[in-house]
Amino acid sequence: MTDAAYHRPTTLDAALALKRDEPSARFIAGGTDLLVQLRKRKVAPAPLISLRNIPELCGVSVEDEAIRIGATTSLAELLRHEVIRRELRALGHALWTLASQQIRNVGTLGGNLCNASPAADTAPPLLAFDAAVELAGPKSRRTLPLASFLAGPGKTQLAAGELLSCVVVPRPPRGTQSAFLRQGRVAMDLSLASVAAFICIEDDRKAPVVRLAAGAVGPVPMRLRNAEATLVGRPLDAAALVAAAEAAAAEVSPINDLRSSANYRRRLVRVLCERALRQALGDKEIHHEG
Amino acid sequence: MRAELRFTLNGAAVEAFVQPQARLLDVLRDTLGATGTKEGCSEGECGACTVLIDGRAVASCLFPALEAEGKRVVTVEGLRQDNGDPSAVQRAFIDKGGVQCGFCTPGMVMATTALLAENPAPTDDEIRAGLVGNLCRCTGYVQIIDAVKQAAGELATKERS
């Protein structure tokens, strides 16, 4: 380790001011990705600005319309949160299989998104829930849909000096069910592919709303818009689920790498998509209790 | 440039001067001489460096030492009971042969201690999920899972009496 500084501001404004004064400094939350990258010299040594001691960035608040998750809320705290487990079930599934207790206890939701891994397991469920992110910069605050925040492997729309402060998830209406499925080689490994499904059937007269998202099968975790489109205006029967799964497999753009071939990932998407839809449809317990 | 750091290690107040970006693992082992905590992969995959911070299992190789400021840190050295006997978890690893070369053991024992504090009666699947961040290259895990079950049983008995 170098002699570089480690700052521990206690307010968001102080954190942003430190970054303004020292543009080469990096924000650090849980550190479970950044400290590995620093150690492997994938990231140059830099002063670090810790976001762990800033109360306004941490914690879950359940409002009428949305669940607001502070960026530095730990993955373990989210997994323990009653409302998240009940209403954002797909996110709960993703958290449960994400890394280990040692990592979940310090890793944060904001960190999982800002690290911008194509395989970030919290992203597909959040995309399926149509989440947005709030960004705080030295001069202004702005809100972006998560889908446009993620820009490429390791890339986000964060401008210089900006940080992700909050993830805003619209509360799913009554009649919503969701599921997340992933396939990894072994438990701790990154996902080879993952799929999240959101299905809202508010009442029998209204068309169901279905949103699907996949991870690790493209440069960014992505909505499966073609697969969603195949389900519009038709009953969600077995043939419809197969058609959606096939559309999903056709629209993803996986790569070959050391973990898996592109072809295998594409096949996984088809299987996981159908299973996730089936699981969400069969899962009647989740509903809005607002 | 050194920064001052104060926290509670195994119940005792400790103080150290550390490099600002030092890892808790290095401060424990090199500065404070608590070498029970082991360094394995240095990237949070193997769990050998697991310690408890305010009761929760954390990979000390990925934990900036300065973030331990004011916190309660427990390492394997702090698990023994007041009379000096091993804890129920430690005893169970010995009884069930959950230790071979021993290098993963401090981390396994710490992760198990945290797991049982949160879930006193885990199923086999919950034990596997709880210890997914701890690699053992010797035992094949069967004896380790047996040890966790014995420890859970003992702690439950103690709770009732």
**Confidence band (pLDDT; 50, 70, 90) for A207?**
confident
Q: What is the pLDDT of residue A233?
A: 87
Q: Is the Cβ of B101 closer than 8 Å to some Cβ of chain A?
A: no
Q: What is the pLDDT of residue A3?
A: 81
Chain A / chain B CB contacts < 8 angstroms: 88
Q: What is the pLDDT of residue A205?
A: 78
Q: What is the pLDDT of residue A1?
A: 52
**Confidence band (pLDDT; 50, 70, 90) for A286?**
very low
More confident call, A196 vs A207: A196
Q: What are the CA-CA distances from residue A83 to residues A46, A62, A63, A201, B19 (Å)?
A: 38, 8, 11, 20, 41
Tell me which of B62, B126, B135 to substitute to probe the interface with A (most A C-beta atoms closer than 10 Å): B62
Query: Does A57-170 match A6-50 at the fold level?
Result: no
The whole-angstrom distance between B43's CA and the closest CA on chain A is: 6
Q: What is the mean pLDDT of residues A153-176?
A: 97
Tell me, which fold does domain A6-50 have in CATH? 3.30.43
State whether A102 and B3 contact (CB < 8 Å).
no
What does the pLDDT look like over A176-191, one tens digit per residue? Answer: 999 999 999 887 889 9
Q: Which of A191-205, B27-41, B63-77 has the lowest mean pLDDT?
A: A191-205
DSSP H or E run through A196: strand A191-200
Q: What is the pLDDT of residue B1?
A: 76
The whole-angstrom distance between B49's CA and the closest CA on chain A is: 10
Q: Return the bridge partners of A156, or none.
A: A150
What does the pLDDT look like over A273-282, one tens digit per residue? Answer: 999 999 999 8
Residue A290 has pLDDT above 80, yes or no: no
Residue A287 has pLDDT above 50, yes or no: no
Residue B160 has pLDDT above 90, yes or no: no
Among the partner-chain residues A1, A8, A100, the one whose CB lies closest to the CB of B47 is: A100
Q: What is the mean pLDDT of residues A69-76?
A: 98
Among the partner-chain residues B45, B63, B64, the one whose CB lies closest to the CB of A188 is: B45
Residue A289 has pLDDT above 80, yes or no: no
- CATH number for the domain formed by residue range(s) A176-281: 3.30.390.50
State whether B133 and A32 contact (CB < 8 Å).
no
Domain boundaries, chain A: 6-50, 57-170, 176-281
Distance CA B96, CA A129 (A): 46
CA dihedral A264, A96, B122, B93 (to 10 degrees): 70
Q: Is the Cβ of B19 closer than 8 Å to some Cβ of chain A?
A: yes
Q: What is the pLDDT of residue A285?
A: 39
Amino acid at B94: I
Mean pLDDT of chain A: 94
Q: What is the pLDDT of residue A204?
A: 77
Among the partner-chain residues A3, A6, A103, the one whose CB lies closest to the CB of B133 is: A103
Distance CA A95, CA A143 (A): 24
What does the pLDDT look like over A77-102, one tens digit per residue? Answer: 999 999 999 999 999 999 999 999 99
The whole-angstrom distance between B23's CA and the closest CA on chain A is: 9
List the single residue in B with minimal CA-CA distance to A190. B45
Among the partner-chain residues B42, B66, B133, the one whose CB lies closest to the CB of A99 is: B133
State whether A36 and B62 contact (CB < 8 Å).
yes
Q: What is the mean pLDDT of residues A104-121?
A: 97
Amino acid at B69: E
Contacts of A5 in chain B (CB under 8 A): 1, 20
CB neighbour list of residue B40: distance below 8 Å, 6 or more residues apart: B46, B47, B48, B49, B61, B103, B104, B107, B135
Q: Is the Cβ of A160 closer than 8 Å to some Cβ of chain B?
A: no
Tell me which of A52, A53, A97, A100 to substitute to probe the interface with B (most B C-beta atoms closer than 10 Å): A100
What does the pLDDT look like over A224-260, one tens digit per residue? Answer: 999 999 999 889 999 999 999 999 999 999 999 988 9
Residue A284 has pLDDT above 70, yes or no: no
State whether B21 and A188 contact (CB < 8 Å).
no
Q: Return the bridge partners of A49, or none.
A: A7, A27
Q: What is the mean pLDDT of residues B75-100?
A: 97
**Confidence band (pLDDT; 50, 70, 90) for B148?**
very high
User: Tell me, what DSSP letter sits at residue A74?
Assistant: B
| Percent of chain A topping pLDDT 70 | 97
Domain boundaries, chain B: 3-78, 88-160
Three-state DSSP at A240 gives helix
Q: What is the pLDDT of residue A288?
A: 34
Burial class (CB within 10 angstroms; exposed 0-12, middle 13-18, buried 19+) of B121: exposed
Q: What is the pLDDT of residue A2?
A: 65
State whether B64 and A1 contact (CB < 8 Å).
no
Q: Is the Cβ of A52 closer than 8 Å to some Cβ of chain B?
A: yes
What does the pLDDT look like over A8-52, one tens digit per residue? Answer: 999 999 999 999 999 999 999 999 999 999 999 999 999 999 999
| Percent of chain A topping pLDDT 90 | 90
| Options 3.40.50.300, 1.10.10.60, 1.10.150.120, 3.50.50.60; CATH of B88-160 | 1.10.150.120
User: Tell me, what DSSP letter sits at residue A208?
Assistant: P
| Options 3.30.465.10, 3.40.50.10540, 3.30.70.100, 1.10.287.130; CATH of A57-170 | 3.30.465.10
Contacts of B44 in chain A (CB under 8 A): 32, 36, 99-100, 102-103
| Options 3.40.50.620, 3.40.50.10490, 3.40.50.1220, 3.10.20.30; CATH of B3-78 | 3.10.20.30
Q: Is the Cβ of A76 closer than 8 Å to some Cβ of chain B?
A: yes
| Angle in degrees, CA B146, B151, B157, rounded to 5 | 130
